Structure 1
Amino acid sequence: MLIDGILLNGSVKKAISGRIRQKIFLRELDIKANSIAQEQDGMCLSTEYINANTQMLWRCAKGHEWSTTLYRIKNMRRWCCICQPDFLKIPEYPRGLELDIYYPQYGFAIEIQGKQHEQYVKHFHKDLEEFET
């Protein structure tokens, strides 16, 4: 492979092609984020996708803005927590605890009570301060 007249060896070619594939993959996920948001009549306000656990900024059709991951939007099918039906909200949790499984066709939801609701668990909370607020 020649770049600017320089002959590249196999390992350099692999590194360059790997970076190109990664950029294409990230661009495709960026497009996917916007497509998913448009399906909800909303917008993805973040300008780049980094990885599945990176917070991105979203806006729903009613103008509410929040941060969450593409994974949560795409795979867990969570959208605007402010617009969700009232019966899915649990008032004892002012940060908007959501029920875990929602069956709109049957009119009920299920909450699986994990320890992350009562104590700090690194997997679920950014840091201890975020959990305590």
Structure 2
Amino acid sequence: MQDDINTKALAYAQKREGRCLAKVSPNTYLWACKKGHQWEAPYKNMKQNYRWCNICPNIPERTCRYIFEDLLHKKFPPRKPKFLEGLHLDGYNEELGLAFEYSGNQHYQIVPFFHPQGQMNLDAQIWRDWEKRALCHREGVILITIPYCVVDLETFIRGALYAFGYLPIPT
């Protein structure tokens, strides 16, 4: 089946430090990232949407969600509330009026995969982040942003929850 794999699909996988394992239908391929996660998707969708492994980049986001849910005993599913006008939150609990965003390095610096047009795309990302914070503030939703450079996610999140009064400060 390797012979049936489109050369462009192979090149795209190699560029992303992964592999195109097989052609599973006329337009769909089996992909693997460098960590071994596998998924099926059409090459066209991968290339047009600048997508790759949807497991790897979500690991820190999922870790943040688990920490919020564990500390507050509430669910924090990803949401696109109407007040955000099409923008999404990585985790949101409407009852608590609390949301979080895990911001990868593409929120702070040019990453060619996310910013094919360089500074223009980064500026647009920074604007969307600012707009999201402003809309949450207007709606009375506390938005905790966790930067990619945070090493100890639990300590950072716990500190933010103390600061905003969601957790009692330990004595």
| Greater percentage in helix | 2
Q: Give the TM interval when normalised to the shorter protein.
A: 0.3 to 0.5
The structure, 1 or 2, with the larger RCO (C-alpha pairs under 8 Å, 6+ apart) is 2
